[in-house]
Structure 1
Amino acid sequence: MTANFRWLWLPGVALLVWLLYLLTPILAPFLVAMLLAYMGDPLVDRLQRFKLSRTMAVVLVFAAFSLILLALFVVLVPLLGRQLVRLYEVAPQLLDWLQQHALPWIQVQLGLPDGFWRLDHVKQALSGHVGQTGDILGMVLGKATASGRALLGWLTDVVLVPVVGFYLLRDWDQLMIRLRTLLPRRIEPVLVRLAGECHDVLGAFIRGQLLVMLGLGLIYAVGLSIIGLDLGLLVGLLAGLASIVPYMGFVIGSAAAVIASLFQHGGMELYPLLGVALVFAVGQLTEGMLLTPLLVGDRIGLHPVAVIFAILAGGQLFDFVGILLALPAAAVIMVMLRHANDLYKLSDLYQVPAEVPEDTREPE
């Protein structure tokens, strides 16, 4: 009976994976809420040390999160909205500049044939949209309200995330205890140790890397705005978001800032380009010497190529839900592969040398 029960795990796991695949469209708010609970649990635990109840600590953490989001919405969204409108308006002129100055220079340097660059259709499409409306927010709201079902689903997700996140955060410790009691007694110590290593990797990456992204986005946005780049806030936030993959934020942000500076100043102006280089140099030095050692440490172990592959694979397989699950799954897989490598090096397959036939041995 025991052996038969063991084999039941295989169809059980397959059924669980199949159900998760079917429920992918509704999993996003629950995963976001779980992420919020995971990030907020250390703060709640610290507040409980001051003799606060678990519920009161959760309320305080949620209130702090809400105030931060409200401040960002009040201060950041109007500024970002104006820059998006500005980008939408100058896009045709940017394409003209690319087609008349930047791309011909690249074409000459690379020896490309005439007519290689075809931006006329893109420019006409953008110009037509700009002529129809200059209000991006109105256009977005119009498309959103065109489908009442989509709008209702979006509002439901917005309401579900804080509600589910509150209850998960309040009962997080109890949920972890109950999950531990369900583990098979014989392998519980091994599973707990593996879960602890996964927690170290996930905690270091999720909490640390998000703070690094926030810090870099702030440095880039403020620095580019100080040197007078019109789209500095937008480019800085883009570079900060892209910093989820090491060095990608620097590459994407610096390239976008250089192109925006060349277009804004009409050519190769030395001082604006030096300002862009200085901003990104300060960002990289701050990240390498302060942000990453202080906030992330050396416990991640996720190679940049692994991060890129995990995000792309998750998005390809499960859309937005897959993107949310990609990095946690990659971290868990990395821990498992590390232990599999240790077990392999302890096995006879690795340690026992191959026997050499007697007739092929060299004479002594």
Structure 2
Amino acid sequence: MNVKISDTQKILFLVSAVIFFYIVYILAPILTPFLVAGVFAYLGDPIVDKLEDLRFTRTASVFVVFLIFIILILSFVFIIFPLIQNQISHLLKKIPSIIDWIYIEVSPWLSQTFSLESNAINLDNIKQSLIQHWESFGSFFGTFLLKIFSSAQLLIIWLSYALLIPIVTFYLLRDWDILITKISQLIPRKHISVITKLSYECNAVLAEFFRGQLIVISVQSVFYSSALWFIGLEFSLLIGLIAGIVSFIPYLGVLVGIVIASIAAFLQFHEILPVIYVFIVFGAGQILEGMILTPLLIGERIGLHPIAVIFAVMAGAQLLGLFGMIIALPVAAIILVLLKYYHKQYLKSDLYNL
């Protein structure tokens, strides 16, 4: 028997939805650790399911996934982070010699070419200031962190996040299948087949996206760092990581990498040939990404045009800042799945066949 929904019930449902989203907006700062835990649980659930297929219990599988996460985090903290820190420290130490080279080589050329006065910028003062105070640059992050953790309120927030996220992630991972079942039971039976189909499509797109992007970023970071190290460029690890991480935005990773690496190569070697090597490295990286990695690992399941990707990232940054940039592409992929469905429905509708 079909139950007819009255206009009053429709209005009540709409008002309830508005109130719900308003409450979510108000509680956004509190919801942050729960959202982060939800993302971790979503990413970890396929691994837990695979371990369950190997006759692990659900709880034991969750512990194994937690162990993997901890190993990855500790590897970054104790291996990658010190290397990056050393390269940043080395960069700060080289600033005075870079100023020297600019003063000796670049300044006379600028004076002759553009008729600039040699004393327009007092490079000696800049150099002396950097020599005397470069240590303060190195200790900047330590001082910054000290100020952060000296604030009782911020300290409580960080500690609460550090405690809440693992705990919530554990329980979400353990009960993920139960939660999905409970949610599916709330869906109106009339729409269950359509919503289930769309949910599976969205999940497939997101899984493909996250898995593919993670591998692409990792391979690109390793490739750029190794190739730049091979041509003798200092700060190769730092530049390679930056270019690899930013590569999830089409063409931005290679553009940022070329600019930074070219400047670093020219300042280090004072020749054009190393800059040409940099262009060759990033050209090869772009070929690797465009012709092998992206088609093989991500393929056309995402279906997002590069312009749509750039727009989505910019829109996410405008709406939610850094967090918006992070979630922009997954949200855009889900929207694309929904648009494809409604496009098919539109083609079957009477409106289209008028």
Q: TM range, normalised to the smaller chain?
A: 0.7 to 0.9
SS of the residue 2:301 aligns to: coil
- 1:2 pairs with 2:5: yes
- 1:81 pairs with 2:90: no
- Counterpart among 285, 288, 291 of residue 287 in structure 2: 285
Give how far 1:91 is off.
Answer: 4.9
SS of the residue 2:304 aligns to: coil
Residue 250 of structure 1 is matched in structure 2 by 254
Give how far 1:114 is off.
Answer: 6.6
Give how far 1:43 is off.
Answer: 1.1
Aligned 8 A contact 1:201 1:301 in 2: no
SS of the residue 1:300 aligns to: coil
- 1:310 pairs with 2:312: yes
Give how far 1:7 is off.
Answer: 2.5
Change (3 A) 1:106 1:205: farther
What letter is aligned with 1:141? L
Aligned 8 A contact 1:31 1:324 in 2: no
TM-score, normalised on structure 2? 0.85
What letter is aligned with 1:75? I
Task: Please give the per-residue CA displacement for 1:107-140, whole angstroms capped at 9, x wherever unaligned.
Answer: 999xx9979xx9889x699838526453344233
Residue 336 of structure 1 is matched in structure 2 by 338
Higher mean alpha-carbon deviation, 2-11 vs 34-43, is at 2-11
Give how far 1:105 is off.
Answer: 8.3
Structure 2 Cα separation of the partners of residues 176 and 153 of structure 1? 30
What 5-or-longer segments of structure 2 have no aligned partner? none
Residue 53 of structure 2 is matched in structure 1 by 49
Aligned 8 A contact 2:229 2:236 in 1: yes
- Show the 5 A alignment for 1:35-74: 35-74=39-78
Structure 1 Cα separation of the partners of residues 111 and 341 of structure 2? 51
Structure 2 Cα separation of the partners of residues 19 and 266 of structure 1? 58
Aligned 8 A contact 1:91 1:126 in 2: no
Residue 143 of structure 1 is matched in structure 2 by 147
Change (3 A) 1:99 1:7: farther
What letter is aligned with 2:76? L
Aligned 8 A contact 1:24 1:318 in 2: no
TM-score, normalised on structure 1? 0.83
What letter is aligned with 2:339? L
Structure 2 Cα separation of the partners of residues 302 and 126 of structure 1? 49
Aligned 8 A contact 1:310 1:330 in 2: yes
Structure 1 Cα separation of the partners of residues 200 and 108 of structure 2? 56
- 1:209 pairs with 2:213: yes
Give how far 1:212 is off.
Answer: 0.9
Give how far 1:51 is off.
Answer: 1.1
The CA RMSD over aligned residues, in Å, is 3.2
What letter is aligned with 1:346? K
Higher mean alpha-carbon deviation, 232-241 vs 218-227, is at 218-227
Structure 2 Cα separation of the partners of residues 77 and 203 of structure 1? 28
Change (3 A) 1:79 1:322: same
SS of the residue 2:178 aligns to: helix
Change (3 A) 1:88 1:53: same
Aligned 8 A contact 1:28 1:321 in 2: no
Give how far 1:175 is off.
Answer: 1.1
Residue 177 of structure 2 is matched in structure 1 by 173
- Counterpart among 312, 329, 347 of residue 327 in structure 1: 329
Change (3 A) 1:251 1:15: same
What letter is aligned with 2:253? G
Change (3 A) 1:57 1:301: same
SS of the residue 1:21 aligns to: helix
Aligned 8 A contact 2:313 2:325 in 1: yes
Structure 1 Cα separation of the partners of residues 21 and 111 of structure 2? 51
What letter is aligned with 1:284? Q
- Kindly tell me the number of residue pairs found equivalent between the two proteins: 345
